[in-house]
Structure 1
Amino acid sequence: MRIPQIQMQQTYAQLGLNINKPVQEIQQPRAELNLRQEPAIIEIRQAKGSLTIDSSEARENIDMRGPLRRTRDNADYGYRMAMEAIASISEEGDQLRSIENKQDAIVAISERESMPRESEIIAAGSIVGDGIEIRYNFQPLDIQVQERGKTMDPEIKRPIHNYKPGKVEGYMLRWGSLQIDVIGLHMDQRI
């Protein structure tokens, strides 16, 4: 005996999608720094130095002395000659007094006195160097620096953002179906 059967055929539904992708644009404009440096102020002060030129010794070297200086030099020369004469006389007296030492003091003194002496010039100056004395007293520099700083005024620019959203559209590519058949309804039965 045949039993009726149900036969099913199913097709699945298929969904199709149309996708438009989103578009995003981001632009970042550059920021502006706006930095300014104020110039510093520098003040330089130089006090005047003093220059001293002393040519008095050079004038003396070429015998251009003033009357006071010439008088003082002559007095010094006279004093020095007097002291040398006193010393010489005293030395000769000491030599004559020591005759008991069996030295011939009179011969030694006369021999020394008979020799020519170096001639001395009263008004002669020294000829060493040029005789000009130069002195310079400098004053130090005074440098004042005044910093004036900087100013900064940044200008920040916001980003430019453009966004076009995407779109998804669904559609049925194939509809689902279910087909049901009954097999074996017609029975041929013989008893």
Structure 2
Amino acid sequence: MRLPQIRMESQPALISIQTQNATQTIQQPKADQEILQPKAEITIRTTPSRLTIDQSKAWHDMGLRTAKQLHEDATRQGYQKVMQGISRRVREGTEQMKIENGGDPLLRQAVNNANRPEKQFNIGWVPSPFAVDIDYQPSDVHIDVRANAPIINNRPNKPVIQYQPGYAETGIRQEADLHIDFENLYFRGFQFEMSI
């Protein structure tokens, strides 16, 4: 006895998807920059040095003097001698006025005035040491520096952006299918085979 059979064969639907990735490029141009550096301003002021040499005392020590200087020296020495003589005479007169104090001032003054002191002789240097006066004033240097700030001009550039969008395409690669076979089925006395 044959049993009725139903056979079913099916295949699923298959979907196909094709994609294209999006692309993006970004370029950043460098900024335009300009830098100007002004030079510093420098001012230098100098006062020249000064050297003074005075050798008049050396010339004087060697006897090399002008007529005016000789006259002034003689006048000065004569004045000093006169004042010394006046001083000695005043001192001697005062001693003689006080003769009652004793001490025989007349005799002592006569001996002192008769025997003048001996002149001393020694080695001397002509001109005398340090007879030349030297004076030196160093120069002064004044430096003024004024720094100038840099001048910076900066212009940024916008980025260059290129964008291409991606896409996705879908489709049916395989459609769904169902196949049914009926065997040995009797329907109201007929054998029936059916295929879907």
For this structure pair, what is the TM-score category when the shorter chain's length is used for normalisation?
A: 0.5 to 0.7
Indicate conservation of the 8 Å contact 1:63/1:125, yes or no: no
Q: How far 1:164 sits from its partner (Å)?
A: 2.1
Distance 1:54 1:80, change over 3 A: same
Q: How far 1:68 sits from its partner (Å)?
A: 0.3
Secondary structure (helix, strand or coil) at the match of 1:162 reads strand
Quick check: which one's strand share is greater? 2
Indicate conservation of the 8 Å contact 1:26/1:161, yes or no: yes
Tell me which residue corresponds to 1:96.
96
Indicate conservation of the 8 Å contact 2:53/2:135, yes or no: yes
Distance 1:119 1:67, change over 3 A: farther
Secondary structure (helix, strand or coil) at the match of 1:38 reads coil
Q: 1:44-123 to 2 correspondence within 5 Å?
A: 44-46=44-46, 51-113=51-113, 114=115, 116-118=117-119
Unaligned runs of 5+ in 2: 1-10, 180-186, 188-196
Indicate conservation of the 8 Å contact 2:39/2:147, yes or no: no
In 1: Cα distance, 2:75 partner to 2:171 partner: 141
Indicate conservation of the 8 Å contact 2:26/2:160, yes or no: yes
Find out whether 1:130 has 2:110 as its counterpart: no
Alignment identity in percent? 22
Secondary structure (helix, strand or coil) at the match of 1:170 reads strand
TM-score normalized by the length of structure 1:
0.65
In 2: Cα distance, 1:176 partner to 1:105 partner: 171
Tell me which residue corresponds to 2:164.
164
Q: How far 1:160 sits from its partner (Å)?
A: 2.4
Unaligned runs of 5+ in 1: 1-10, 180-185, 187-191
Instruction: Name the stretch that deviates more: 59-68 or 49-58.
Output: 49-58
Secondary structure (helix, strand or coil) at the match of 2:93 reads helix
Secondary structure (helix, strand or coil) at the match of 2:68 reads helix
Q: How far 1:66 sits from its partner (Å)?
A: 0.8
In 1: Cα distance, 2:75 partner to 2:55 partner: 23
Secondary structure (helix, strand or coil) at the match of 1:34 reads strand
Amino acid at match of 2:89: I
Q: CA RMSD in A?
A: 4.1
Indicate conservation of the 8 Å contact 1:58/1:132, yes or no: no
Q: How far 1:105 sits from its partner (Å)?
A: 1.7
